[in-house]
Amino acid sequence: MRILVIGGDGYCGWATALHLSACGHDVTILDNLVRRKWDRDLGVSSLTPIRGIGERLRSWEATTGKKIGFIKADATNYAALVEAFQTVEPEAIVNFGQQRSAPFSMIDRDHAALTMVNNTLCNLNVLWAMREHAPAAHLVKLGTMGEYGTPNIEIEEGFITIEHKGRRDTLPFPKQPGSFYHLTKVSDSDQLFFTCRIWGLRATDLNQGVVYGLDTEETTLAPALVNRFDYDGVYGTALNRFCVEAALGHPLTVYGRGGQTRGFINIVDTVRCVRLAVETPAEAGEFRVFNQFTQTFSVLSLAHSVVRVGAAMGLSVELQHVENPRVEKELHYYSSVNNHLLALGLEPTLLDDPTIEGMIRTAARYEKRVDTGQIPATVQWAAGSPPGRPAVPAKVVRRS
């Protein structure tokens, strides 16, 4: 299948492009490499050294004998996107081409506007390009479980059947986004649902949980294929941050009480889910929503797991509760359905102690690349908080 992977230089996009290529698909990456620029602007970098896109692709071809095409273009530029569609003639489009950090979108007005314009226009352009140049193609769009928020009911997969005043209907599940980034994802879902109904497009929205892990089968084949490992306060996730802190002997910084509970998925399963969605496409006019996660954890439970694994490795690891920079419920009900991908054959890769140990050892291996000044969360959600202030040590409010 001819597949255009938009945003294929990023964390999920790179691993997915390699996996689809390894499975025999004809893959072309479209990327403007702006994520690398944003890193430079923020003064952050991946823990693992990321090679240039040319070296990455040459290494893949030399290692596997398979070629991945590359088009340097910005998906918010419609003319450039159309040219890519005409060149590739995609049968499937996988769209990762968006600014993916909630903290980034909350730094200040400029970063919020950048996120809103980049993400919404990218998605809109892809849908118009499909309508005009690839109407039979299938769009697999990366969404987020963060669209739903933390409702006090079971989270269904995209839709919910309700009864109201004696009538019954199936409607999109209510959305409670937690940042400007999450707002763009809600808009994406609405755009997909609308264009499938009106234009007869076919699309699958993958509402993904928090992704963890570094390696997939493909990224380990050569050093130049290594994937990103973000740990900073803007792009880093809690588990990545905890593993880096454990390797450095730094207390694990738990935001607030740590009761925030979310869905999680290993990067190994991310690429498998995308492939399953690509290889079993939606019907014309069909808008599917898959909740793409395999387990749920609270932030505090993840921290305790890292403490336990660190102790088994001979590390002395403590917890440090710090002020939560976000406006969110820290204790709440959280339960979600994830049946669709399991029905398609996904066999979940569950978080275990060897996985956490491997992440801690990776952090120790690249210890000299860690900038501890980038670990504290400095982007504040609340009104009146200083937006995007320089990194400062996190304030300790409780210790355990």
Domains of the chain: 2-214+267-295 (3.40.50.720)
Q: Note the pLDDT tens digit of each residue in 217-240.
A: 999 999 999 999 999 999 999 999
| Average pLDDT estimate for 144-158 | 98
Q: Rounded CA gap, 230 and 247, in Å?
A: 15
Q: What pLDDT, on a 0 to 100 scale, did the predictor assign at position 387?
A: 53
Q: Which residues are catalytically annotated? A: 144, 181, 185
Asked if residue 3 has pLDDT above 50, the reply is yes
Number of neighbouring beta carbons within 10 Å of residue 249 = 11
Q: What pLDDT, on a 0 to 100 scale, did the predictor assign at position 397?
A: 32
Specify whether the CB–CB gap between 145 and 296 falls below 8 A: no
The closest alpha carbon to 143, from 187, 90, 106, belongs to: 187
Distances (CA, A) of 294 to 149, 211, 223, 347, 348: 17, 10, 28, 9, 6
Q: Note the pLDDT tens digit of each residue in 89-103.
A: 999 999 999 999 999
Asked if residue 350 has pLDDT above 60, the reply is yes
| Average pLDDT estimate for 227-254 | 97
Q: Rounded CA gap, 93 and 134, in Å?
A: 10
| Average pLDDT estimate for 196-218 | 98
Phi, psi of 318 (to 5 degrees): -120, 165
| Average pLDDT estimate for 310-329 | 97
Residue 383 banded pLDDT, cuts 50, 70, 90: confident
The closest alpha carbon to 185, from 110, 101, 263, 93, belongs to: 101
Q: What pLDDT, on a 0 to 100 scale, did the predictor assign at position 169?
A: 98
Q: Rounded CA gap, 227 and 59, in Å?
A: 13
Structure tokens at 197: 């109904």
Q: Note the pLDDT tens digit of each residue in 259-268.
A: 999 999 999 9
Q: Note the pLDDT tens digit of each residue in 99-126.
A: 999 999 999 999 999 999 999 999 999 9
Q: Rounded CA gap, 16 and 323, in Å?
A: 35
CB half-sphere exposure, 212, CA atoms < 13 A:
27
